[in-house]
Amino acid sequence: MLSFTEIQKLLGDQADHLLNFSNPKISKERLHVPRPTFVKDIFGQSDRSKEVQKNMERIFSTGNLAGTGYLSILPVDQGIEHSGGASFARNPDYFDPENIVGLAIDGGCNAVASTFGVLGMIAKKYADKIPFIVKINHNEILSFPNKYDQIMFGSPEQAKELGASAVGATIYFGSAESNRQIVEVAKAFAQAHKLGMFTVLWCYLRNSAFKVEGLDYHTAADLTGQANHLGVTIGADIIKQKLPTLNGGYKAMNPAGGKSYGKFDERMYTELCSDHPIDLCRYQVANDYMGRVGLINSGGESGKNDLAAAVATAVINKRAGGMGMISGRKAFQKPKKDGIEILNAIQSVYLCKEIAVA
């Protein structure tokens, strides 16, 4: 695990900007921040059953972050989402489901998220050793031409049968298919709750119109925040979202004299948010019922400076009031030793007492 000094060193020029930020637009006191008693305090007063809460307690009691209220999750569904060859060419060992689950366990993760096939293949051996989050829908990219849609690959009942603690799903908010996806996932999440499993929603934006004048608003705080707000509305217990990198998506989509898109209030950009990375992320947390539903940010694709990038994302998420990280490609597209190092570095941020919610 990394020390505070080592975390500072990895952050480099960003250290002061991220670690000493102390004036967020939305105060910490308005948030429901992660803590050891989070499930009891928040979901104990919700409509979630005791069995759902028990499965949630299990994920918060597993791995290196057990008992902290924070989460470090390994997601490996890229074999479908990005094709097996493209995802595992760097490390072919991960074609084997046992190595995926082994990385999550040895890396000290709270849970592993993957497909019906991956988790079902080794369910009897590992379902009682680490919580399973079964991803029930996917974007298949073999049809020609490629299209971007999420289709159901199985049911909550199947996930329950293989020993899952939770189901996960993706909605491409903003896409032409999003209405159907919202209905499908809402029904699946309601059924998962009836079966005693909690739910995790990948709240992604997907529409070429979100790219305006050279800027990509798929990671805008205002648009991703609204996607989160839709996600918690249909019963997500945890929201997975990309870290915001900019703001003003609604404004960009509403040029002077152009078509009207969505609804926004100028105070979203002045009183509820600034351009600081922690404020941008906090706006996402605010849209998750002020943190009653935990925000986990994704680690993104693998690159040259993965260790530093992962640590920076974790610092932003934690200081914003988020619940943790779900990082896959940065970990499994490396030799196992290096993948574990990335996962442990992320966990170090959430274990570090010197790094507090801003």
pLDDT at residue 78 tops 90: no
CATH topology (fold) of 4-350: TIM Barrel (3.20.20)
pLDDT at residue 140 tops 70: yes
> In the prediction, which pLDDT does 256 show?
64
pLDDT at residue 168 tops 80: yes
**How many other CB atoms are there within 10 angstroms of residue 221's CB atom?**
30
- pLDDT tens string 12-68: 999 999 999 999 999 999 999 999 999 999 999 999 999 999 999 999 999 999 999
> In the prediction, which pLDDT does 301 show?
76
Residues in contact with 300: Cβ distance below 8 Å, sequence separation at least 6, in sequence order:
242, 243, 309, 313, 327, 329, 330
- pLDDT tens string 322-340: 999 998 888 888 999 999 9
> In the prediction, which pLDDT does 258 show?
66
Confidence of residue 87 (pLDDT cuts 50, 70, 90): confident
More confident residue, 149 or 148: 149
* pLDDT (average), residues 204-228: 97
What residues are annotated to the active site?
Answer: 240
Q: What are the structural domain ranges in the chain?
A: 4-350
pLDDT at residue 257 tops 90: no
CB 67 within 8 A of CB 60: yes
